[in-house]
Amino acid sequence: MSENNPAGKAPDQPGHTHFGYESVPTAEKQKRVAGVFTSVAGSYDIMNDLMSFGVHRIWKRFAIDLAGVRPGERVLDVAGGTGDLTREFARLAGPRGQVILTDINAAMLNEGRRALADRGVVGVPLVQANAEKLPFAEASFDCITISFGLRNVTDKDAALRSMKRCLKPGGRLLVLEFSKPQSELLGKVYDQYSFRLLPLMGQLVARDADSYRYLAESIRMHPDQETLKGMMQDAGLSRVQVYNMTGGIVAVHRGFRLD
């Protein structure tokens, strides 16, 4: 399988979607993604540090600052996993605000619950929910974030519409996700790292090379910066801006609900 399978390639058959580079029935993808994250949940945080050499903390810090959460606001952290963003949002929103962490995967929610408790973060509801069908009232959050989660969603357009629906007028959605390197040389180096070293690290640390091979493939199949910007606009978000980091390996997209 080519390491450069183009992002956004249409599924080969009707009723199919991509699980990494593999074309699978749409109904099957969610189960297979669940298997990946159930497998890696216990080693998720340490693998994030190892895979990114700790740089994921800088990426998340930038997204947190860009979110601009203020005291008293309601914040939804979608696919929040182990709660890296949730912890900071809880501090920023303060006792007058509310932060809710959601994830579709029960094992990841359990890790998030443990991580929040270990750091003394209390009063944060954890909700098992599908980003495509969020179980919250319309116009109920000032800020919604999804960090390194959108590429794993089966129907990304539905998820973007669902998150936009839950925003208050004037509220903002931030999507932090892997994207497309902006230089050809960086892209080649990144391919070698992703497809050679990531599975090896996954095998050594998490005893699961296949899940980290899927990670590399899912990044390549995720929409690039401009495509995702267009998808957010199609979902009804306005003033969508793109902020590249690390040469475009990662990007933050921010859009607002203005209707």
Residue ranges for the known binding site for S-adenosyl-L-methionine are: 82, 103, 130-131, 147
State phi, psi for 241 to the nearest 5 degrees.
-125, 150
- The full DSSP string for 141-186 is EEEEEEES-GGG-S-HHHHHHHHHHHEEEEEEEEEEEE---SSHHH
State which H helix or E strand residue 199 sits in. Answer: helix 198-201
**Buried/exposed 21-42: b ≥16 CB within 10 Å, e otherwise:** bbebeeeebbeebbebbebbbe
What does each C-alpha distance from 6 to 12, 92, 232 come to in angstroms?
Answer: 13, 39, 20
Cα(79)–Cα(121) distance, rounded to whole angstroms?
18
Q: Where are the beta strands (DSSP E) in the chain?
A: 16-19, 22-25, 74-78, 98-103, 126-128, 141-147, 167-178, 238-245, 250-256
Which residues does the annotation place in the binding site? 82, 103, 130-131, 147
CA separation (Å) from 120 to 75, 133, 138? 19, 30, 31
Q: What is the DSSP letter of 132?
A: G
**Measured between alpha carbons, how far is 138 from 223 in angstroms, rounded to an integer?**
27
Region for residue 80 given its phi and psi (left: phi exceeds 0; alpha: psi -120 to 50; beta: otherwise): alpha
